[in-house]
Every structure is written in structure tokens, then in C-alpha cells.
Structure 1
Amino acid sequence: MPLSIPRSASTARQLGRCYASISNASSIRSFATHVPNTPLSHDASGSGSSSHKVVVVGGGAAGMAVSHQLLRTSSFKQGDIAVIDPSEWHHYQPGWTLVGAGLKTKEELRRPLKSLLDPQLKHYQSEVSAFKPDDNLLTTSDGRTISYEHLVVVPGISINYGAVKGLQEALQDSDSLVSSIYGYDTCDKVFNTISKLKKGKAIFTQPAGLIKCAGAPQKAMWLALDHWKSQGLYNPSNPEKSAISIDFATGMPVMFGVPKYNAVLEAMRKERGVGGLFEHNLVAIEDGGRTAVFSKGGEQVRKEFDLMHVTPPMGARPFVKESPLADAAGLVDVDQHTTRHKKYANVWSIGDASSLPTSKTAAAITAEAPVLVRNLTLAMSGKEPDASYDGYTSCPLLTEYGKVLLAEFKYGGQPKETFGNLFGIDQGTPRTAFYHLKKDFFPWVYYQSYVKGTWAGPKGWASPAPPVSSPPSAPSSSRGFSTSARAAVRQSIPGNRRGFATSVSQSRNTPSRRQRDPLDYSPNAVRHPLSSGETFIVRPPPTAGSSASTTLIPQPLLSRPPTTTEDAGPLPPALAPSYRQGSATISNRKDLTPDQIEKMQRMREADPITWTAAKLAKKFRCSPTFVSIVAPLPKAIREGKKAKAEEAKLGWGLNKRIARAERAERRSLW
């Protein structure tokens, strides 16, 4: 489950190399495989009572991530964690946009829920009928009572098709050009209706209030527009004379809730000739699916249409809304940073069902789940939660076939862009590389890693958290997988930051570190422990004495530099290295005259491309270093070279990027 603004093809190649390396690494990093002939812990029905340390209500994206991440802490054994979900199938819902665009089939984006659950999890294939948080109990629809120590409520939200009069009938009518990507039964109808329309008015709707992925309604519209454009049915530069007209009817006053991306999308809407019906909420479909009724400012507005893509209103599930856990909106009332319930200290929630004031996306769960898991395990050991969620979420907005605007932001609508931080690019610009992330990488990583609790979104593959009850270890920035014995060895070596992982069980996303610098063992080195758990080693300069020496040998080159011009003296001699000219070796070490230096400077300034340092050195029989001192490149050329060097960095591999980042970190400490 997101580059000084390089070309799209270049970006795709760079991201391809990055994610190819990740893909290869992940092939040996599978979290759990079902042992043949080992039955899954599963209850299809039945009554009675049972008890668990943690009960997770919901087997969707949030439920799968949380339950498996809890298992990876090694704090739980068989049956300690229960998952309650009545579904037979688990769907990759973000992929339904791709189905609506004709890029995927809905069948390839689902898996049997039982096949995804780890055997250590207890599965109740039932619905929750009521919560009794004062008694640490819940009841299921099949009459079972389940007690818990901690409760995680992540059942998602429900789609209220009935909130729009006539919508259900229009969706079920195969001849109707009304469709929606928000349901498994209707998502494949979207592309069929788009392909059928040859002329007329198309309307794409988005309600005000709570919905899954606030950018999805636009994705369907932009892809439909691009399809009609390719068929010659729509001309963005002259929409009035096109066979098809397009309107976007949204209950919001803007195109998108984040100012940065809203500005881009609003400009795109105007550029492509799409009509904006703002603060228009769809309330009914009449005339046999030919007229849309909108509510605007307390009045009803009717619009005829030939095609309509509908985003139905959504809301909390009844068993959550009617429970003591709900807030005024019917969502689980949790603290926006700790994900802990504001009243019940042993109740937690993330994802769509929670009151977290952020966009409801699968990407948000990648940042929410680790916070919940960390804080829950701390609470189980009697400690206060210390992890905090900053509101991170992401929405890969398909703006056309082959390009995606990768919106990433946190609380307050503040952009938090992964690739912007890594490569300095603007993610507000739609790019081909992001399209391949959305279309190819994200669906793959979802079932390969996300549902297994091993995917941490922008941070890549996650390492298992140690059990909180275990003895505390020195903090480390390493994301590697390590046994307690290996961790003990790492801690016993001063200054050692990471261990080496060679076995399959010990593999990790980051490359293995280089061998320790032998100078780490220097008896004169001073080690400073940092708050991050790492050790900063300061080595003495070459002029410093040591336990092995009794005299201090002066080092003129390391002495204090002159402070005045008189002390500095003239320029150093223009030493000319020996070079070959024909078959003879010529050596000239005569100093250059001021006139020669001035001539060199004029030539360099007049044509710095032709007269490089090497060519001038050969012509004046001096060293290229001397040329660089007396006749440096013009500022514009230097900046151009610097920009080119920055662009070359985009092709660096993962090992080199990490090594350079560590070197910069060490340099900043000096």
C-alpha cells in the first residue's frame, strides 16, 4: 500500500530499480505460510462463551494488519488473539478503481479470508451484535459471548445505497448507465457504462461527509474523460462541441480537501472543461434513471443525464453506532494520536470505523496500525502509550491512463510526501512512475505483505517489534530481523550499529552493513552515546599524541592557516605533472607569469565548455588543480554541473543512498 523533477520515463526506471530490489528481497521474507494439513483455528457457528487477550472486530485491511502485527511482537501464543468477521472473501478495495477503468478484473483482487488468517488466530465467522465495554464483553449474532482484555474495533464503515432514492434499482438495472466503483457487485459495471456512452451528459458524484478514499470519485471521472478523449468523443480544448459533456457534482465546496492538491485538481478541471457543481448532494434518481435530484442549500436541483457514476453516502455500522463506544457521528471515539478510546482504556480503533480525523484509506492504516500495536502492548504491560499518529494518509489520484497524482498528507491538510523528501520532487504533478505504483506495485504488496503485517507503507517492510515485557534493549535505528542472541552480540560491541544477516530468517529490507571500521578499536577514540541509541566515535587528529608515542612530530600542513595577506604570500607554484606528447615525455615546472594567468582566465571565461581545466593545463603546462584555483568555472556553469550531479543521484541504488545518508549524518555531527 508514493527526482529534481525528472522526466516521467526516468522516474519510472528509478522507481522500478528501487522496487525491484525490494521485490527480490521480499521473496524470502514471507511472514507466515500455512502448514499442510494444519486446520485453521475457526468457528463457523455455535454458542457459548470464550475469552481472549485481544479481540479484533473486523477482518478488513485494518483488522488483518493489526492482528498479524500483534502476532509479530511475540507476546502472544495460539488463541490469544481472536478475529471476528462474517465475510467469506477479503477484497483489495483500492483496486476497484482499476476495475472501473478496465485495467483489472475484480476476481483477481480478492482472496478467501480464511486463507489469509494466520493459524495462531482464532476466527469467529460471525457478526457482532452488541458491545458491553463496562464488562469487557461482546456478543455475536450466533449467541456467543466473548470476553477480552483488550478490544480492537476495526469493522470499517457501511455503504448506504438506500440513502439515495432509486439508486439501488438503477444499479441493478443492467440497461441503466448508472454505476459505482464502491461495491464488488457494481465496480465492473463502471467500465461497461463508460464504453457504451457515445454521446450525451455524464455526471460523476461525491457526497459530503464520510466516505472511503475521498479521491476515488474523481479517479473514475478522470479515467472516463481520458477514455472518451482517446475515442474522439471528448475534446478538452473545446468541450462545448464534444459529443459528451462532463460534470462533477460534489457535496464539498472544493475539489479536494488538501489545499495544495485542490489547487492542482481545480486547475485541471478548468483546463479539461469539466463542469463543477459544488455543494450538490445527490438525494434521488428519477425518471427511470435519467434525472438526478441534488440538494443544494436546502433547495432541490434536477439534472438530466445519460451516464452517472455515483458515490453513495457512507456511515458507521449499526452495531458500532448504537454502542457506548461511539461518538456523535457513530464512529469509535478514540484519541487522534494514541488511537486509544477516550473513555475505555482497553479499547482501540483505527481505519474507517475510527474517529481519527483523516482520510479513510488503506495507506492511512499503514501508519495507524504500528501506533495501535505499540500502544496496546505497552498498556498490556502496565505502561503508558508513547507512540503517536500524525494523521498520515495517502491517495493515489489517477488523473489519466498512465499518470497518477500521489497525494500524501497528515493532520491539518499538510503535505507529507515520501518521494518529495527522498528525491525532492513535487508529488502534486501527475507522474507515470506513480501510476505503476498504483496499478502494479500496491496490489502486489497488499497481499504479499500488507495483510501479513509486514508492510509499513512509506517506510517499506516492517520488522517485528520485540515483546514489551522482555528486558529493554538499547534502542537502534536498525530495521533488521534479529534473534535475542544476535541482539545481545550487537549490544556487546561498542559503536556497532547493525549486525549482519545472512540466513533467510534473518533477512531484512535494508542492505547488510559494511564491516566495522578498524579505527573503532583505537584506544584514543572517544565514544559519545547518542539519544538515538547509536554511538558517535571521535578519533584524534594525526598530530595528537598517543599511548604508543613519546614525541609529537610537527605537521606544517595541519598548522594554523595564515590570518593576513602578508602571511599568506603568493599563490602556490603551478606544478606541471609529466605528460606524454607523442613519444617524448615533457616536464615543465616553471611558474606562470601574471600575463599567462590573465590569458588563461580570459579563455576560461569566454568558452568554459571548450577550455576545460585539463585542456588549459596542457596548454599552459600546469596542473588542472592550479587552473581551477586561478580560473574557476563561471557560477552558472558550476550550478549547472551541480544540478546534473543531483540528477545523477536519482540513479543510485539503495546501498549507495543509505551510505551517503549516513556519511552526511556523520558530517553534520562534526
Structure 2
Amino acid sequence: MNKFRSLNIRKIQFSSDLHSIRLFSATSASYDKFKCKALVVGGGTAGCSIAAKLASVFGKNECIILEPANDHYYQPMFTMIGGGMKTLSQVRRSMASVLPKKAKWIQDAAVRFDPDDNEVITKQGHIISYELLIIAVGLQLCYGKIPGLEEALSIPNGNVTSIYSPKYVDRHLNALNRFENGNIIFTFPASPVKCPGAPQKICYITEHFLRKTKKREQAHIMYNSSLPTIFGCKAYADALWKVANGRSIEVNLKTNLIEVHGDKNVAVFASMDNPNEKKSIEYSILHAVPPQSPPQVLLESKHLTNEAGFVDVDKATMQHVKYPNVFALGDCASSPNSKTMAAIAGQVGVLNKNIESFLKGKPLRSEYDGYASCPLVTGYDSCILAEFDYNLQPKETFPFRQDVERYSMFLMKRDFMPFLYWHLMLNGWWNGPASFRKLFSLFKRN
């Protein structure tokens, strides 16, 4: 016991804040120390999917998942919740029900990574030793970085909405039902974001909602994006310009939301080219996408991350550039792909093969090409299925044009993908549509 307590004291001297956390959380029970073959930090889409594969190989309790949350959400469906096509209860499962049964779940959070000693220290003071570390902690939503935004979102029945958080996702439909007339503004922040198509999806769904409820003529819709283009892949950008222009949606690029005055229903925007050039716009509804970043534990782990705080991995193998037994995938990895569920599916397959090679002492041959997919829902019955790689070149699965709005793609997004997610992907059985792409290539148009 004294030896173990001494080890704990040695481990917690790295910051006075963490020391305080441990003293506060201390009980009569001693801190626990765990050992495992594979430690997966994060129980979201990426963590759950790779843990399912590893747990089936390593055996019961040899894979540990470190995740503090009680609930697991299918986040790609949040845009449809905003339009009333789904409910929050339909996209939520208990964390215990989705994590692999052969893995050991520690309901706690990482506060320090120590890759030199192959250990992770948790918020409750536990120490987890590992042979392999897979980091999959996603991104954090930084609503507080925009002055006034959190306050505006806390106003009951308010006019500021955001489908990015389960805490706020229901506010958008409520605001639409109350809407009478005025400006409806949608934003895209000056930061990396998960599902970068979502800010546009909710914009197009809203426009269709207004047409369905015969309120469209009373609304002036604006999409204000900090980016220099409406979408990164030109083939789909061209299609989206047609959608926006055809529906009289005003698109303002290089325009960043910097402040919200919820009591006055006023949003302040700044030019990305000239931050001193500011413009205040009154709104009837403001849908705000929060700035996003890697979680604080990564921002404080300079030895593991790049300058932006993302886990510094080889973009092809997903292996850490310095620590060979450390891997990362999903939104927190430094690979420059679009942060989507489909990207994670592709990474999981590559990572699983490369971990197998690593354990056998062989070179890592499997490579992730940056594949990402974004089903761009443009209304209550239409969707453009964007698929592309690291070079922002289309990497399409189906033998027909995907840069047009289709009802079939909408049905796939609404009905098939949730089934695929809950029953295949989270169980480690879905690595993306590569095999289907090969099959459909036989029927590709010339």
C-alpha cells in the first residue's frame, strides 16, 4: 500500500491542478492500477469501433475502454432532429449497450498521457498501463469562445439554436415552429469541425421546412461561412452553389461569427480577410456552429500532438510519428481528412490491419487515403452524396452521378445508415464501402 501510494504521489506532481483533483476525489479506497494489452481512450464512434475489433482478438478484459459518458449518440442524425425528421431518443443508446462486451469499460476520463512509461492517468487518480494505446477522444465543442453564445443558448424558447450538441439540438425545430418573419442566419466557425457539411444541411432543411409551412416568403436566409469556398471538393461545391442560388439563400464566405447579443437578437460577424471589418445583423433565428478543438487533455500533451493539438500521426498508417505503440483515429487525429463517420470507418479498417502488423513486427502496409463521405441532405426528400479523398477528388461508390440531389440517397441517409451504424460499425464489422465500390465499378458510366 505504501509503495503504491508513493507511486501515486510521484505521478501526480506534474501539475498542482491535477493534485487538487486527486485530493478532492480521494476516498478510503486506494487508487487502482490497471494493465491491458490495448487501451482505447474514447468510447465514441472511433473508439467503440476499433475496440470491438481489438477485444475480439485479445480476449476478455485485455482491451480497456476509457470513457466517462453514460450515453452514446449517433451524431450524424442531429441535422434531421433539427428538421423534425428524427428525435433525440432515436439516436441515443446507453454507453454500456454499445461498447464491446469482451472489453473492460472504465467510466473515467484521461487527464494525462505518459507514453514514455506506457501509462495513462485518469481523473479519478487511476493509472492504466498498456502495451498499445489508441487515442479516439474526438473534438470538444467550444461554445464559450464566441462571447454571448452560451448565454443566448440558455434563454428558454430563445432564437439561438445549434444542432451540434444534444443539449441544444431540439431548439432549432422549436424556433422554426415559432418563426414569423425576418433573418435566419447559419454559421460555419473559423476552426476544424466534425461533419463539416452539417452547417449547410440544417440550412437547406430549414429552407424546405419554410416552403412546406408556407413561410418562405417571410424569411431571408443567410449562410455565413468563415471558409473561402462553400465546400472543399469542387465537384460538389458546384452542385451546392446551384442549390443555394436556386433557393435564394445568400451565401457569404470568409465571414465569421464573433459575438452574439441574445437580448437584442443581434449577431456580430467579422471578415476573415480584415478582422477589423465587422457587421452586426439582426436575426429572428441564429443557428450557430461552435468553434471546435481537441480536448484539453490533448492540448496539454505537447509530446503527443502537433501545434494545433491533434495527435500527431502518419496520415497513411495512423501510427504516431514518435511512439510506435501509439495510434489515433477519428476527429482527434492529425490526418487532414474531413471529420466524418465514413472517414472513421475507413481508418478503423486500416488501423486494425496495421496494429496486427505491428504486433508481428512487420512493416505497416495498410494505408488510409483520406476517404470521407458526407451525405449532404438538402431537404425532406433529397440528398447529394459527396465522397472524396485527401486530394479532394471524388471517390464515388455508386455507378450514377452523385453530384445531384436524389431521393434514393436521402433514404439511405435517413433509414439505412443508422442501421449500419448501430448494428455493423460499432460492432467492428464495417470498414467503409470500398468493396461495394469495386463491385459497382463494373457498371460505372463512361
TM-score (norm 1): 0.60
The residue identity in structure 2 corresponding to 1:275 is E
- 1:289 deviates by 4.9
Aligned to 2:127: 145
Aligned to 2:341: 362
SS where residue 273 of structure 1 aligns? coil
Aligned to 1:319: 297
SS where residue 390 of structure 1 aligns? coil
Aligned to 1:291: 266
Which structure has more relative contact order (CA 8 Å, sep 6+)? It is 2
Mapping of residues 474-493 of structure 1, within 5 Å: none
2:114 is equivalent to residue 135 of structure 1:
no
Mapping of residues 231-380 of structure 1, within 5 Å: 231-234=213-216, 242-286=217-261, 288-296=263-271, 297-299=274-276, 300-323=278-301, 324-380=303-359
Aligned to 1:388: 367
Q: 1:399–1:405: 8 Å Cα contact kept in structure 2? A: yes
Mapping of residues 602-641 of structure 1, within 5 Å: none
Mapping of residues 397-546 of structure 1, within 5 Å: 397-419=376-398, 424-459=399-434
2:205 is equivalent to residue 223 of structure 1:
yes
- 1:459 deviates by 4.1
Q: 2:160–2:262: 8 Å Cα contact kept in structure 1? A: no
Mapping of residues 60-139 of structure 1, within 5 Å: 60-72=44-56, 74=57, 76-139=58-121
Aligned to 1:211: 193
CA distance in 2, matches of 1:193, 1:97: 14
CA distance in 1, matches of 2:245, 2:90: 36
Q: 1:86–1:126: 8 Å Cα contact kept in structure 2? A: yes
- 1:177 deviates by 1.1
Q: 1:291–1:304: 8 Å Cα contact kept in structure 2? A: yes
Aligned to 2:144: 162
CA distance in 1, matches of 2:179, 2:214: 12
Aligned to 1:639: none
CA distance in 2, matches of 1:124, 1:265: 44
CA distance in 1, matches of 2:180, 2:287: 16
CA distance in 1, matches of 2:107, 2:84: 33
- 1:287 deviates by 5.3
Alpha carbons of structure 1 residues 195 and 452: separation in structure 2 relative to 1, 3 Å: same
CA distance in 2, matches of 1:46, 1:309: 47
CA distance in 1, matches of 2:95, 2:261: 38
- 1:232 deviates by 2.1
4+ residue runs of structure 1 moved beyond 2 angstroms?
Answer: none
Structure possessing the higher radius of gyration over alpha carbons: 1
- 1:441 deviates by 0.7
The residue identity in structure 2 corresponding to 1:373 is N
Q: 2:189–2:256: 8 Å Cα contact kept in structure 1? A: yes
The residue identity in structure 2 corresponding to 1:77 is G
Aligned to 2:17: none
2:25 is equivalent to residue 47 of structure 1:
no
CA distance in 1, matches of 2:338, 2:368: 13
Residues 286-325 of structure 1, C-alpha deviation per residue, up to 9 Å, x if partnerless? 1515110112121222111111111110001010111121
Q: Over aligned residue pairs, what C-alpha RMSD do you find?
A: 1.8
- 1:371 deviates by 0.6
CA distance in 1, matches of 2:132, 2:431: 23
- 1:46 deviates by 6.7
TM-score (norm 2): 0.89
SS where residue 94 of structure 1 aligns? helix
- 1:414 deviates by 0.6
Mapping of residues 171-210 of structure 1, within 5 Å: 171-210=153-192
Mapping of residues 19-34 of structure 1, within 5 Å: none
Q: 2:82–2:202: 8 Å Cα contact kept in structure 1? A: yes
- 1:98 deviates by 1.1
Q: 1:46–1:144: 8 Å Cα contact kept in structure 2? A: no
- 1:135 deviates by 1.0
SS where residue 133 of structure 2 aligns? strand
SS where residue 152 of structure 1 aligns? strand
Residues 189-241 of structure 1, C-alpha deviation per residue, up to 9 Å, x if partnerless? 1111112112111101111220011100001110110111122222xxxxxxx
